[in-house]
Chains A and B, each alone.
Chain A
């Protein structure tokens, strides 16, 4: 609803003024003044949040950008150093490792979570008797901290005492699973643990989407003689587009936030094999005393995310316009 229509309605009803006057009886302000105050009230309510966001998000982003152009090492130093930190960042082999790992991790995490989530949702939607028992099982890892998940999987995948030992005890003596300590494979343990944690959430989103599809639509397609496979491919899965979009956005946000899981599961190792931009930024800023380089890496992370998120937000806001 627009401002104009709201205020028009508000002022057009006589009893409103009386009621407001009864509340603020001392000064008995005019209808106009009440209307003005009422008009401003929503903005007043919104303003503390907006101010906080402007300062703590946008102000801090500018601050970090400034730091990335400075000479800061162990502490912030506000001396302009041009692109020095960026040049040093892009000459760090560690940074390339982090970027490559993020690409592997991000693509596999988002892709497999969506695939698994969709599979489980479609299977659960086949009038499964034990759905009420299964759903919470798929969903519960979502309630856990990545630190808990990392701790649990670190133990589960422990090459000496974990799943490998179990397989050996069961007679499969050639079974090896040393990914946790194998620099080439360690990043995939992060992927596995992260999918375990998040795929249930995606399943829930898709299931909600499936349950929201208009039955008439499905019935119409059935009357037209569509097969089950075609029904899903042509009618049902395309209808899940909003659920898919929110799932990808939540997952992308979580993938980029992925700092905790790596810290708990591999500590960025072995060596630097599971370095991600988030762990890179943290260690350069707080332990390696290269704050400007850390800031530069944070700015690159921000730019990467912006390239994905800004188009999404743009379309989202345009959609809001249509809904009006």
Chain B
């Protein structure tokens, strides 16, 4: 871990230390509050939810809301919970992340270590693709997916997420490889290593941090996507986020806030889990990227 910017603390009074800690802790509480409310609400009965006391622990702890959200809550006309949509999201996110990360690594490698005239234009074109508002491709994409016969399917969503993830994955790897010493590549060439050999043996083994960063970024983005899911896979193949929104916004009669919160937790858990498991690595990778890139 790099040394802190130590200087600012030198000679500061104890008062400042207390103020700094207080500020940081108050902010931490504010960041945690919505999650706390979500969790406690999801373990309450609906009667208790209606009593208010949003911040209080559940008086009658129950997992009913969770099982309802998973298996029996009504989304649209079917009352089978969000479990099916959860699997839809898994089936979409795994191939989409793998393909877009691999392609991004190769693109980043080509655009830094095998440059050719016009490489900057190509990178610029790809980079611009990251920033377009996706509204500008929705109708054509819907038409093309329809023509290809993969409208309203997970395969269609995988294609969409790979294509529109490419710009970012390429950006990550390009910035990372930019800082990779060319001398090592040159030395490998002198030793007779070719294009793929250099990639597999030299660049990939030292790409750990950026791979983790890219995978987390892509996983989070694709799992959390709503616009493409809502546009191209409404109905039975809808991803989790679309199902959650349908559950929360379209439930008729009494609003089951506890079930909504349980469903929201279920939608949040995979990305939170990735974050808890790899979060430290993610921050380290992010720092490494920012320092080197």
The count of residues in chain B whose C-beta lies closer than 8 Å to any C-beta of chain A is 116
Question: Please, how many angstroms separate the alpha-carbon atoms of A140 and B170 in the complex?
Answer: 25
Q: Would you call B5 and A210 a contact (CB within 8 A)?
A: yes
Name the A residues within 8 Å of B79 (CB-CB).
Answer: none
Q: Which one of A40-48, A82-90, A105-113, A179-187 contacts B?
A: A40-48
- The 3 closest A-B CB pairs, nearest first, are A145-B224, A42-B114, A212-B291
**CB neighbors of B among A147-184 (8 A):** 147-149, 151-156, 158, 161-163, 165-166, 169
Known: A3-B115, A54-B125, A143-B268. 16 other contacts (CB 8 A): A1-B114, A1-B185, A15-B192, A42-B110, A45-B106, A63-B140, A64-B137, A130-B24, A134-B28, A145-B224, A145-B244, A147-B245, A200-B31, A208-B291, A243-B290, A277-B133
Provide a sorted-by-A list of 26 A–B residue pairs whose CB atoms are within 8 angstroms: A49-B103, A49-B170, A53-B126, A53-B167, A127-B6, A143-B279, A147-B224, A151-B245, A166-B52, A169-B52, A207-B287, A208-B290, A228-B11, A231-B8, A253-B130, A260-B226, A263-B245, A263-B249, A264-B249, A281-B135, A282-B135, A282-B227, A286-B231, A301-B136, A317-B123, A324-B115
Question: Please, how many angstroms separate the alpha-carbon atoms of A149 and B241 in the complex?
Answer: 11
SS of A interface (majority): helix
**Is B134 an interface residue, CB under 8 A from the partner?**
yes
Q: Would you call B133 and A298 a contact (CB within 8 A)?
A: yes
**Is A38 an interface residue, CB under 8 A from the partner?**
yes
Residue on A nearest B125 in the bound complex, by CB? A53
Question: Please, how many angstroms separate the alpha-carbon atoms of A215 and B50 in the complex?
Answer: 56
Least CB distance, A4 to chain B, in whole angstroms: 10
**Is A270 an interface residue, CB under 8 A from the partner?**
no
**CB neighbors of A among B150-208 (8 A):** 162-164, 166-167, 170, 178, 182, 185-186, 189-190, 192, 194-195
Question: Please, how many angstroms separate the alpha-carbon atoms of A56 and B140 in the complex?
Answer: 9
Q: Would you call B275 and A140 a contact (CB within 8 A)?
A: yes
Given A19-B192, A123-B20, A125-B5: A260 touches B136 (CB 8 Å cut-off): no
Least CB distance, A140 to chain B, in whole angstroms: 6
Q: Would you call A156 and B54 a contact (CB within 8 A)?
A: yes
Q: Would you call A144 and B271 a contact (CB within 8 A)?
A: yes
Q: Would you call B244 and A46 a contact (CB within 8 A)?
A: no
Question: Please, how many angstroms separate the alpha-carbon atoms of A127 and B23 in the complex?
Answer: 15
Q: Would you call B290 and A209 a contact (CB within 8 A)?
A: yes
Of A19, A48, A140, A232, chain B has the most CB atoms within 10 Å of the CB of: A140
Least CB distance, B272 to chain A, in whole angstroms: 5
Name the B residues within 8 Å of A10 (CB-CB).
Answer: 189
Q: Write the A309-324 contact mask toward B (1 if CB under 8 angstroms, else 0).
A: 1100100110011011
Name the B residues within 8 Å of A309 (CB-CB).
Answer: 128, 131
**Is A305 an interface residue, CB under 8 A from the partner?**
yes
SS of B interface (majority): helix
Q: Would you call A152 and B264 a contact (CB within 8 A)?
A: yes
Q: Would you call B5 and A139 a contact (CB within 8 A)?
A: no
Given A145-B267, A228-B12, A313-B128: A46 touches B122 (CB 8 Å cut-off): yes
Question: Please, how many angstroms separate the alpha-carbon atoms of A45 and B54 in the complex?
Answer: 55
**CB neighbors of A among B43-62 (8 A):** 49-50, 52-55
Name the A residues within 8 Å of B244 (CB-CB).
Answer: 145, 147-148, 151
**CB neighbors of A among B248-271 (8 A):** 248-249, 257, 260-261, 263-264, 267-268, 271
Q: Would you call B136 and A302 a contact (CB within 8 A)?
A: yes
Q: Write the A205-246 contact mask toward B (1 if CB under 8 angstroms, else 0).
A: 101111111010011011000001001100010000011001
Q: Would you call A213 and B5 a contact (CB within 8 A)?
A: yes
Contact of A151 among B25, B231, B248, B289 (CB under 8 A): B248
Given A46-B107, A147-B241, A260-B226: A211 touches B4 (CB 8 Å cut-off): yes
**Is B223 an interface residue, CB under 8 A from the partner?**
yes
Question: Please, how many angstroms separate the alpha-carbon atoms of A203 and B272 in the complex?
Answer: 18
Residue on B nearest A323 in the bound complex, by CB? B178
Name the A residues within 8 Å of B9 (CB-CB).
Answer: 126-127
Q: Would you call A145 and B223 a contact (CB within 8 A)?
A: yes
Question: Please, how many angstroms separate the alpha-carbon atoms of A308 and B101 in the complex?
Answer: 27
**Is A271 an interface residue, CB under 8 A from the partner?**
no
